[in-house]
Structure 1
Amino acid sequence: MTLHIGDTAPDFTVDSTVGEISLHDWAGDSWVFFFSHPADFTPVCTTEMGMTARLAGEFDKRNVKPLGLSTDTAEEHLEWIKDVDETQNTTLKFPIVADPDLEIARLYDMIHPDQSETAAVRSVYIIDPAKKIRLMMTYPMSVGRNFDEILRVIDSLQLTDRAKVVTPANWEPGGEVIIPPSIPDEEAKKMFPQGFTTIKPYLRMTKVA
């Protein structure tokens, strides 16, 4: 199945480390950071799970629920979590989906045959409260994810939804943003009373709280 930004995230009901969950019901009115890892009891995955757990407060502030997945069983996940907590100095509380039959991994195009026929690559799906896919990223098995970037894109998505702006290259929270060209100047003056700088008719910069 090919998924695109803007598609409704396919729902599923599955066993996990916290019992059976259904994606849409479990997500509720939160955003979801849905990410896959190749296998339990592997080094890069252990560091990623630990980092996700240590960032629990940051995800909470953004109304984001992390949800992991690999093609291992829930029982294997629960044993591995003990290693994650021990080696990464954390307490992992978010669910990890069990997918030994590869059904969800295939549904979300996480199986890339050149990498493995049975293990998921490092996929990221950011899903909004309307259950729409807002961002997709895929890393090879050998490269651990950059969690600063994951938080940054969540911040950008939430800001652009709220303030009706777009963010420039290398944007960081608090930095200048761009007023979309579709908003005429007169409307922009009302929407952004703090003012804006016109660099080109299509490139107007401002700051929003």
Structure 2
Amino acid sequence: MPGILLGDVFPDFEADTTVGRIKFYDFLGDSWGIMFSHPKDFTPVCTTELAFAASISDKFTERNVKMIALSVDNVDDHIFWSKDVMAFNSSTAPLPFPIIADANRKLATLLGMMDPDEIDRDGNPLTARCVFVIGPDKKLKMSCLYPATTGRNFDELLRVIDSLQLTAQKKVATPVDWRPGDKVMVLPNISDEEAAKLFPNGVTTKDVPSGKKYLRYTRL
């Protein structure tokens, strides 16, 4: 099945959107990017999702992340529906990110976004709730796939982006439920000697029954 895997170079493409025709790489520039698809305009869960995404768009901007949405609807429907989306937030401002029109499902099929269990009135499959995070190097850094019945948690997506951006710069990993400012974990392939040089705030190790010293923490 067509799709894209972690580490793959994300395809460049041209598409019609609510802000006109774009070339994806030109749209991203040197920024990070997040693309999120939804099944259908004028539907309840999708409206709540894009409304919340719009309400926190400044938090993505602060992280140098450009947002873009996608569904199988046409541009006119996207523009009309976006007024409902913003009205959900009691706002008359324009939607702060573009929506890609993919009525022929070409892009969604290429990216592996289709949900075979969700179909429209004509029997055509709809896009699932995909999320792709693309790095400045245009490679896929994170992907996740939700069914149509489950709305996403955009606060969690921000947390993931914080982790991705940190671990792209530092030789660390982030543990379960990590938040910015919490301790991070030293990578297993970093020796104690190298860790002492890399992390001047010190490294602590949690003892476990195996006796192996792999749970090493530091604070950046």
TM range (shorter): over 0.9
Among 119, 131, 151, the alignment partner of 2:138 is 131
Stretches of structure 1 lacking an aligned partner (at least 5 in a row): none
Verify: 1:59 aligned to 2:63, yes or no.
Answer: no
Which one-letter code corresponds to 1:39 in the other structure? Answer: K
Aligned-partner SS, 2:162: helix
Q: Counterparts of 1:130-169 in structure 2 under 5 Å?
A: 130-169=137-176
Of 97, 102, 117, the match for 2:100: 97
- Identity, in percent, stands at 49
3-state SS of the aligned residue for 2:5? coil
Aligned counterpart, 1:182? 189
CA-based RMSD of the aligned residues comes to 1.1
User: Could you state the TM-score of these two structures normalised by the residue count of structure 2?
Assistant: 0.92
Residue 110 (structure 2) pairs with residue 107 (structure 1): yes
Give the structure with higher Rg (CA).
2
Task: Report if aligned partners of 2:30, 2:136 keep a CA contact under 8 Å in 1.
Answer: yes
Match of 1:33, SS state, is strand
Equivalence for 2:215: 203
CA-to-aligned-CA distance 1:171-200 (integer Å, 9 cap, x gap):
111111100011111111110011010224
Instruction: Give the letter for the 1:132 counterpart.
Output: K
Match of 2:52, SS state, is helix
After superposition, the C-alpha distances for 1:118-152 in whole angstroms (9 at most, x for unaligned) are 31010000001101101011001011100111000
Amino acid at match of 1:113: P
- In 1, Cα distance between equivalents of 2:27 and 2:197: 39
Q: Aligned to 2:172, what secondary structure does the other structure show?
A: coil
**Aligned match of 2:4:** 3
Amino acid at match of 2:203: F
- Normalized per residue, which structure has more strand? 2
Alignment partners' CA distance in 2, 1:93 and 1:167: 30
Q: Distance in 2 between matches of 1:164 and 1:144?
A: 33
**Structure 1: which amino acid aligns with 2:144?**
M
Aligned residue for 2:116, secondary structure, equals coil
* Aligned-partner SS, 2:173: coil
Mean Cα deviation higher: 166-175 or 88-97: 88-97
What is the CA deviation profile of residues 84-126 of structure 1, one whole-angstrom value per residue up to 9, with x for unaligned ones? 1112234312110000000111011111212334310100000
**Runs of at least 4 residues of structure 1 off by over 6 A?**
none
* Number of aligned residue pairs: 208
The answer (yes or no) to whether the contact 1:47–1:88 under 8 Å persists in 2 is no
TM-aligned CA deviation for residue 25 of structure 1: 1.3
